[in-house]
Amino acid sequence: MPELPEVETMVRGIRPHVQGRRIAEFRACPCDCRPMLVEPSAREIARRVRGTTISDVIRRAKRVVLKLNSGDAFVIEPRMTGLMLIDAPPDPDHLRYEWLFQDGGPVSRLQFWDRRGLGTLKLLSAEQLDYLMGVDQLGRDALEMTASHWVDVCAATSTAIKVALLNQKRVAGIGNLYASEILHLAKISPLTSARQLKPAQIDRMTAAVLEVLHTAIKYEGSTLSDGTYRNALNKAGGYQNAHRVYDREDELCVTCSRGKIIRVVQAQRSTFYCPVCQPVRRRK
Ligand SMILES: [Zn+2]
């Protein structure tokens, strides 16, 4: 958390307010917390970006990218608890960095807030951006995956499909929460080897990825019980109410009304699934 839908919501929330704006100043907020990873130093970044204009705001996988007219770009990865805000933060104590604008308009600042401080903020040159954000380093975006792309990804690994969905070098943007939701909608057991998926299952998974992620974006993401994730206006998302399996262990499956949701651990992460809708196929 935040995954693709939450980061896409951040990008859509801040873009109309910061695109085309001139950065008067970038600075660290007074914060007593453990410092987060920033490259190069905040002082060096401040020097390089003063007076530049934000030319574009895009999402790359689970990162927010602020492109500048100088060719440099901020790449911000919220990781566990990071937020991009144009309104008052959840609290002032975990504000980390801010961009100040002095060219008029109702929004005078953009802020990065992070309670746990595991997020990262980097200023990259155009060359670094092209290399580090290219598909060789970071897989194709989940929203751009077709069935034939999925056939290639699945043929390349015999790991369980749930674990394969989380490999960002193969497909970028899907995290632990949405992986369980996607496989439930596609009626695929998370324990199935990626390589053993049948063409019909891959077709269902291709459609389920798009349906789950686009619907989650429409609802502005999922705010879990810890309440951390908020949109750019510090409001909760709404997709948590539509979760079919995530964090619903022992509840009755909403699809079949027969199976009880099971939680298992795969690669140190919780997986939730319905044993009735998502049976494990016997190997032939
Ligand atoms: Zn079910």
* 252 CA to centre of ligand 1 in angstroms: 8
Q: Are residues 117 and 45 in the same domain?
A: yes
Q: What is the pLDDT of residue 104?
A: 77
Q: What is the pLDDT of residue 102?
A: 84
* 163 CA to centre of ligand 1 in angstroms: 21
Domain boundary among the residues 132, 149, 182 is at: 132
Q: What is the pLDDT of residue 282?
A: 61
Q: What is the pLDDT of residue 17?
A: 95
Consecutive sets of 10 residues in the chain, 284 residues long: mean pLDDT of each? Answer: 95 96 96 92 97 97 97 97 95 96 87 96 97 90 98 97 97 96 98 97 98 97 90 94 96 97 97 96 60
Q: What domain range is 183 assigned to?
A: 140-242
Q: What is the pLDDT of residue 115?
A: 94
62 is catalytic: yes
**Which residues lie at CB < 5 A from ion ligand 1?**
253, 255-256, 259, 274, 276-277
- Helix, strand, or coil here: 34? coil
Catalytic residue among 21, 59, 62, 63: 62
For residue 231, the domain's CATH number is 1.10.8.50
User: Which tokens in the block code for residue 110?
Assistant: 């953009």
For residue 64, the domain's CATH number is 3.20.190.10
Alpha-carbon distance of 268 to 176, in angstroms, equals 11
Cβ–Cβ under 8 Å, residues 260 and 251: yes
Flag whether 269 is in a domain: no
Q: What is the pLDDT of residue 105?
A: 77
Domain boundary among the residues 71, 106, 132 is at: 132
Q: Are residues 23 and 119 in the same domain?
A: yes
* 225 CA to centre of ligand 1 in angstroms: 23
* 255 CA to centre of ligand 1 in angstroms: 5
Cβ–Cβ under 8 Å, residues 159 and 194: yes
Q: Are residues 238 and 153 in the same domain?
A: yes
Q: Are residues 128 and 11 in the same domain?
A: yes
Flag whether 274 is in a domain: no
25 is catalytic: no
